[in-house]
Amino acid sequence: MARRVLTHNFSLLHVDKVLLNKKWNYKNVISPYIRIYYIDEGEGFISTFEEKLKLEDGYFYIIPSFTLCNLECVTTLSQYFIHCFEESPSGLSLFQNYRKPIKIKAQSIYASSIKQLLKINPNRKIYRSDNPKVYEQNTFYREYQDLNNKQSEAEFMETQGILLQLIAQFISHTNLTTDYTSKIPSTILDTIRYIQINLSSDIRVSHLAQRANLQIDHFSRIFAKHTGERPKEYIQNKRIERAQYLIMTTKKSFSQIADDIGFQNLPYFFRVFKKLTRVTPGEYALKNHF
């Protein structure tokens, strides 16, 4: 009998309960990790270019990684929040084709779970600020990852269990399936892994098609069918996602980052970055560093 293996892991970064006010008002926020909110009082909003979700008492919300959005508190907002990184061998996110905020009604058992997560992880607060440009920095990421390594085996397993339990609710609600990669042909999965590993190289669609032993047009159609994007668009998106992460977590120059992700032409890197994120690399850097 084939044994099914869990292919996605979630690494806890922050968990806390905070009382927010009108100062919690941030535009064009993009994070390399997943955000989960549970609201128990007050009102606010998560908005994207496509929709605006009301933050209200008794609801859970998730913002997938690399989702561009605005955060706003109307007057006051009592909020439990979780930030966690998602990892998978394929490089595919569970929300690969659903990069937008999701809202679901909170069941009491899951509200209790997030409170338990906070109880067993008391040192995961954002002590410095509630502003993403202050707390989203590499030295702070390392501090919290070190805390993961110092957890007891029982605490680590319970933390993983709660994260999986909570995220499963959103997967179920949006009809996303946890075994969706099994429906993707092995040639496309292999291509996705190849792209992830070789972002700094000159990746040509013709070479990807050759690796898959398919004609270019046929390969591009199959790739788009299973990823939602043509190969060239997919490569650009992955490069810009990597650039966002490097800007937020390193002190590399834009030219170094452009080279790291396969852009030999700096102005072209700037144009693609702004096209996909709505801001320039410089504006993004100002938002996410001191």
With CA atoms as reference, report the closest residue to 22 among 81, 76, 80, 69. 76
pLDDT tens, residue by residue, 159-171: 999 999 999 888 8
With CA atoms as reference, report the closest residue to 122 among 11, 12, 19, 249. 12
Domains in the chain, ordered, with CATH?
A: 9-173 (2.60.120.280), 184-287 (1.10.10.60)
CA angle 127, 24, 28 (to 5 degrees): 105
Over residues 86-113, mean pLDDT: 82
pLDDT tens, residue by residue, 110-131: 889 999 999 999 878 775 555 5
Stated pTM of the model: 0.67
